Chains A and B, each alone.
Chain A
């Protein structure tokens, strides 16, 4: 497979960065690990046969980088990094202007996300938070695209109910 163009790298990078971000909870570490994953991928690009989507192949490489990083830091020494973990960002400066109500709202969202069934939550994480397409999510989670679609739809419905969101569901 030909090496990716700058445009492709720029399109893929945010998804990988967000994956690293939610696994580490640190923007600095996410930046380092995403760069490292790309560098590792470039070094062995001739091993990429195109059987998988480039983004999901990169995702696997990134996951290995994160696991190595966690081992070196003795991070979560009692448990392994799980692919669909969600760690809140700790090193970004909190917004001092944010109102208490807003913080409570966001806490309610986190609680609602944590309360989702595992399969629904992982579909939400990979699409809404990481930003992968349904096709990519299907490959990462090894389920059909239709299953991703229904799980994300269910995640939205459950979160809306859990958060007491007054927003009506949109029908196209």
Chain B
């Protein structure tokens, strides 16, 4: 094997461990963070998933997923009810067992939630000292470049591939400055339909090095979702982001610093669509930081 073959095989081994579900939550988070930030790993994962789908479909195994989930649910329900006998000696005895059928997969999916820092309310974490939020938000800030069709397709593909690898819980994905971060959302509550994937884009200008920073967050639009991310960028100090989602808009808060003594931040509401909103600015190291946000629907959540 050449060096390239070896590195390809190493990446494939890690991704296969991810697909097999044999990783610990912390290892899984690491691999998915790699997938979120590394284009090569993402393309390889996409190829592996497509290859897996094709080969399984060739033998008709793709049509049995529901049956598999039902039989797993049946087994788990019988375990919960203490109905499993010590040992069975006849396959026929297991056919259509009288186990109570309970849908526990949703609870299981929720139980593997890792990484996402979710809080019941965001407002208590936002410190408003030194905040300047404009009374009339500036719409269509010229600083925010329009999201192109190619970018929309690219972001949708990234989210879709990571979501397929996660196989159950819906992920959020943070992409900024060549880096990536990833976490899961809890299962949606009843009535909280996820119809759209959302690109929440924050533009911070100037950044700590004088350059504009763009932070992209991919997250399913879900009413009443509260998402708190402790570090979406570093402006000399950590920049935290809190999002509260509504039917057709979201409140986005950005905070620099920790605790009531030194935290500064801004917060504002942005409607879903192509329009960007300048939600405010704050001084950091004597320099004004302008914050522009946008929440662009990318299409249906797969």
Contacts and interface: CB of A to CB of B under 8 A. Distances in A.
B75 A131 contact: no
A145 B70 contact: no
Given A9-B76, A149-B13, A36 B88 contact: yes
B81 interface: no
Interface in A84-142: 86-90, 92-93, 95, 106-107, 109-110, 113, 124, 127-129, 131-136
Given A13-B68, A17-B68, A93-B63, A171 B88 contact: no
Contacts of A113: 55, 58
20 contacts: A10-B108, A11-B21, A13-B72, A18-B68, A27-B67, A28-B95, A31-B71, A35-B97, A36-B91, A39-B88, A43-B85, A90-B60, A92-B60, A95-B63, A106-B57, A131-B20, A133-B13, A135-B22, A153-B8, A172-B44
Range, interface on chain A:
35 or more
Contact of A128 (B38, B44, B52, B84): B52
Contacts of A88: 58-60
A134 B56 contact: no
A111 B4 CA distance: 29
B119 interface: no
Contacts of B193: none
A132 B23 CA distance: 11
Q: What are the 7 A-B residue pairs with the smallest beta carbon separation, nearest first?
A: A89-B60, A43-B87, A31-B71, A172-B40, A109-B58, A149-B9, A92-B63
Contacts of A14: 21, 68, 72
B64 interface: yes
B7 interface: yes
Interface of B: 1, 4-5, 7-13, 16-17, 19-22, 38, 40-41, 43-44, 46-47, 50-52, 54-61, 63-64, 67-68, 70-72, 74-76, 79-80, 84-88, 91-95, 97, 104-105, 108, 111-112
A172 B38 contact: yes
A89 B68 contact: no
Interface in A123-170: 124, 127-129, 131-136, 145-146, 149-150, 152-153, 156, 159, 167, 169-170
A88 B55 CA distance: 11
A136 B23 CA distance: 12
Given A42-B86, A89-B60, 20 more contacts: A6-B76, A9-B76, A15-B20, A22-B59, A22-B61, A31-B68, A32-B92, A34-B75, A35-B75, A35-B97, A43-B85, A43-B87, A44-B87, A92-B64, A131-B52, A135-B17, A146-B9, A159-B51, A172-B7, A172-B41
